[in-house]
């Protein structure tokens, strides 16, 4: 038996069927989400995952990139890379360059961010100067630093000559050449780590700083115990992005050393991909090197994510 409705308290149309209205809203949200996400997923599939799968397929062929024909050779490209002594020198160059670039740019960027987070006169201008190299093309910076490291008349040669020290032959020794391109890249990438760390420092909890000052905590202990833990998320983000960027540096190497001296003195994996694919016309072998580099980056990134989850 249905109770009579009280005058003035009749249910509105929206109150009478809440389940039906909820379903209608959900479908609307699902449709909106699909309309926003689907185009991006299609573009991601076409321009990221499809080339990735295609690269993996090509790595099993012997293919001159200028020829329409490919010959299936199985894992021969991978076997050749792992049994070639040159490959291990290139892997060593990549490891040294990446580790020094990641640690160097993050450490110096954090130091500069902490310095320029202070109330100093002209800090806005200095912040701009520090960040500017990051937006300059790597090829342009490579050309400029050729003059810096030139052993005949470069800036480094001039400074060392002032102290009576001979300049190293940066272009004739593999170790010094690798040092040269690594230093150049760290200088270029410094603005990126600097500005990210500066934003994180300005967003940290000031009450913890005040509590540390009241307790008389030393500056060094305050850095390790108060400031650095608050930058953990930022440090993880930078370690991943700087690592990925360091693996793909090509322009500076091409301009300054072209992978030399002595063949592969400063070649990295990404430079070997270019050299084999477009110079030696061995697209299949280049695809195999690219696949190996992708797997190395994937494993390192998964380890970083796992370590971050463990710390959380």
This prediction has a pTM of 0.83
pLDDT in tens, 251-291: 999 999 998 887 888 999 999 999 999 999 999 999 999 99
Mean of pLDDT over the chain: 88
pLDDT score of 154 more than 50:
yes
Cβ atoms within 10 Å of 259's Cβ, excluding its own = 23
pLDDT score of 83 more than 90:
yes
CB 122 within 8 A of CB 164: no
- Residues 189-203: what's their mean pLDDT? 93
pLDDT score of 77 more than 90:
yes
153: confidence class by pLDDT, cuts 50, 70, 90:
confident
CB 296 within 8 A of CB 309: no
pLDDT score of 12 more than 80:
no
For 168, which DSSP code?
P
9: confidence class by pLDDT, cuts 50, 70, 90:
very low
Please name which of 262, 261, 287 lies closest in space to residue 272, comparing C-alpha atoms: 287
Q: Which of 8-17, 54-63, 153-162 has the lowest mean pLDDT?
A: 8-17
- Residues 165-191: what's their mean pLDDT? 91
pLDDT in tens, 114-152: 999 988 888 889 999 999 999 999 999 999 998 899 888
- Residues 83-112: what's their mean pLDDT? 94
- Residues 53-62: what's their mean pLDDT? 94
More confident residue, 181 or 308: 181
């Amino acid at each position: 038996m249905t109770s009579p409705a009280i005058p003035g308290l009749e249910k509105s149309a929206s109150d009478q069927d809440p389940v039906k209205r909820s379903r209608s809203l959900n479908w609307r949200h699902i449709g909106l989400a699909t309309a926003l996400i689907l185009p991006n997923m299609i573009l991601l599939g076409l321009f990221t995952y499809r080339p990735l799968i295609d690269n993996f397929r090509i790595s099993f062929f012997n293919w001159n990139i200028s020829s329409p024909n490919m010959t299936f050779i199985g894992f021969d490209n991978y076997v050749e890379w792992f049994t070639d002594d040159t490959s291990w020198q290139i892997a060593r160059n990549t490891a040294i360059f990446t580790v020094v670039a990641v640690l160097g740019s993050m450490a110096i960027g954090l130091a500069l961010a902490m310095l320029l987070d202070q109330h100093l006169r002209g800090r806005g201008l200095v912040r701009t100067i520090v960040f500017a190299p990051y937006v300059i093309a790597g090829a342009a910076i490579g050309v400029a630093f050729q003059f810096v490291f030139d052993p005949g008349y470069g800036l480094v040669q001039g400074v060392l000559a002032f102290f009576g020290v001979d300049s190293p032959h940066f272009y004739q020794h593999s170790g010094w050449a690798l040092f040269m391109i690594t230093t150049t890249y760290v200088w270029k990438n410094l603005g990126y780590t600097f500005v990210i760390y500066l934003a994180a420092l300005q967003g940290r909890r000031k009450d913890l700083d005040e509590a540390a000052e009241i307790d008389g905590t030393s500056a060094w202990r305050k850095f390790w115990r108060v400031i650095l833990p608050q930058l953990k998320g930022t440090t993880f983000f930078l370690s991943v992005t700087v690592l990925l960027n360091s693996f793909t540096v090509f322009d500076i190497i091409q301009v300054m050393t072209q992978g030399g001296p002595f063949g592969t003195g400063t070649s990295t994996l990404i430079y070997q991909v270019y050299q084999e694919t477009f110079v030696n016309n061995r697209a299949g072998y280049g695809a195999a090197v690219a696949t190996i580099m992708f797997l190395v980056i994937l494993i390192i990134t998964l380890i970083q994510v796992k370590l971050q989850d463990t710390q959380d």
